[in-house]
Structure 1
Amino acid sequence: MKFIMVDVETANSNQGSICQIGMVKVENWEIVSKGSMLIDPKADFDAVNIGVHGIRPEQVVGKPTFVHAHAPVKGFFDEQVVFSHSTFDQIAFDKACDQNDLPRFDCHWMDSTRVVRKTWAQFSQRGYGLRSLADHIGFEFGHHDALEDALAATAVLLAALKDKGWTLDQWKEEIGHPIKVDGSVSGAPASNSVKGKFEPNPDGSFFKQGICFTGAVPGMSRNQARDAAAKLGFTIVTTVSKKCNVLVAGELDPSVLAEGASKSSKLLKAEERLANGEDIRILSPIEFAELFVEGG
C-alpha cells in the first residue's frame, strides 16, 4: 500500500491560483512523510478565499511561485498513485500547469471520495465532505489548511481502505464505475420547464435523484435521454442547483460556449459543487449508459 494524498488552497475562484500545497506520503499503511508549502500565486486574493483558509497576500511574499515549485512537486508525484479528496486538487494542478506552460504531472490520480462512497453506504450519495467523514472516524483537524486537510483525508482513506479490504490495483479498476444508490433520496422536484413531460418511475433505482444534461449524448436526442433517465427513476432538472444530483456531460458544440471557454456553465458549476463535497456526480455519456445496467 503506497500512495500520496494532496490538498491545495487557492487565492481566488481560478482553481489554478494555488497558494498552499499540503502533501502526505503513505507506505505500508503508515505515514512516512508529510509537509506543506506556501505558494505565491502571482494573483489577487479574494476575500471569500481568505475567509476560508486564512492565508493573506502578505504571507506569500517571497515564497516560491508555482513555476519554482513545479519541478520538485512533479518529481514527487510522477509515477505515483496520488489521491485527492474530490477532483478539485487535480483540476487545480492541471490548470496551474497549463497557465504556466508547464507539463502536467505524470501520476495516477484517484478521487478518495469515490473510495469512501463505495465503502460506506451511508455516504454513497451525500455527506462525504471531509469534515463529515473526519467526524465519522473520530479524527480532529483544522479544516482548510492544506496539510491538515491532507492528513484528515489520509486518515479517512486509510479507514475506508481497511474496511473494504481491497488493494490499490482493485480500486484502480473499480473507482470509475458508477456508485449504486443506497436508498437515500434528495427530494428533487422537476423543473417547471420539464415538469409533467418526463414523469420519474417510482420503482426505478434512482427515484428522487435529480439529473441534468449538458452537451449531446451520442445516439440520443435530449428528450430521448431525459425519457430514458426518467424510466430509471430520475427527476429531470434543467439547472445544476441543489436539486441536481447527477450531471451528464456530453459532447459540446464549441459554437454555443462562451468565448475562450472549453466547458459549459453547467459543467463548471457541477465541478465547483463537487469540489465543495456536495451531493453531485458528473458522468460521461458512457457512464450514463452504464446506469441502465446498474439500475435496470
Structure 2
Amino acid sequence: MNFIAMDFETASAVRSSAVSMAVVVVRDNQLVDEFYSLINPQTTFNPRNIQIHGIQPADVVDAPLFPDVWQQIKQFYTPDQLVIAHNAPFDNGVLRATLDHYGVAAPHYLSLDTVRTSRRFYPELPNHRLNTVSSALGIDLLHHHNALDDTVAAAQILVTQAEQFGVDQIKPLVKVI
C-alpha cells in the first residue's frame, strides 16, 4: 500500500489549536519518510490537553505557525492521495479548521480512519483506541499522544490490516475529503 498517515495534537478542544503535527510516508508497505513539527497555535492551552500530550505553551513559543508547516507538507494532500489517521474525523477536522483559521483553502484527498477499519477487522477488542489496537497487533507505541509516534503506529496498523485482510477489504472504507 502507498499512503501517508497524519496525527495532530491540540492546545484545547478548539480544532484550530494544533500544537504538533506529524506525517509519515508509506510506499509499498514501508515507512520511507517522516515529518514532525511543533506548532505555535497562538491561543491558550487547556490544562487537560497539556496533561494528555505534555506540550506546554513554553514549548511552542518559537515554533512555526501552521502556514509555515503547511508549506512543507501540502504536496502530500492531493485528490488521489490516501491520507490515513487513527480517528481521522478528528485529524481531518483539525487540518480543515486550522487551514480555515489562516484563510488557506483546504485540499481534497482520500481519507481512511484506522479506528473504523479496526472496528471492522477486530470487533473482539475491548475498545479501538490507538494503544489498544497497537498492543493487540504487537505494534510498539512508544509515546502515546506524541504525534510522530501515533502516526507511525497508525501507519503500521493499516499495513498490518492490508497484509491480514487484503487491500480490497479496506478500499470500501476510503472517503473523499
TM-score over 0.5 for the alignment? yes
- Give the length in aligned residue pairs: 172
Match of 1:161 in 2: 162
Match of 1:171 in 2: 170
Match of 1:294 in 2: none
Where in structure 2 are there 5+ consecutive unaligned residues?
none
Bigger share in strand: 2
Conserved? CA contact 1:120–1:160, under 8 Å: no
How far residue 46 of structure 1 moved from its aligned partner, in angstroms, is 1.1
Query: In 2, Cα distance between the equivalents of 1:61 and 1:36?
Result: 16
Conserved? CA contact 1:8–1:22, under 8 Å: yes
Deviations 1:90-125 (CA, angstroms, capped at 9, x unpaired): 0110111112111112221221222222222324xx
Query: In 2, Cα distance between the equivalents of 1:155 and 1:70?
Result: 24
Higher RCO (C-alpha under 8 Å, 6+ residues apart): 2
1:137 maps to a residue whose letter is L
**SS of 2:160 mapped into structure 1:** helix
Counterparts of 1:83-122 in structure 2, within 5 Å, are 83-86=84-87, 87-122=89-124
Query: In 1, Cα distance between the equivalents of 2:70 and 2:30?
Result: 26
Larger Rg: 1
Conserved? CA contact 2:115–2:128, under 8 Å: yes
**Percentage identity across paired residues of the two chains:** 28
Query: In 2, Cα distance between the equivalents of 1:161 and 1:155?
Result: 10
Counterparts of 1:133-282 in structure 2, within 5 Å, are 133-140=133-140, 141-167=142-168, 171-172=170-171, 174-175=172-173
TM-score, length-normalised on structure 1? Answer: 0.55
Where in structure 1 are there 5+ consecutive unaligned residues?
178-296
Query: In 2, Cα distance between the equivalents of 1:176 and 1:23?
Result: 18
RMSD: 1.7
**SS of 2:9 mapped into structure 1:** strand
**SS of 1:106 mapped into structure 2:** coil
Match of 1:132 in 2: 132
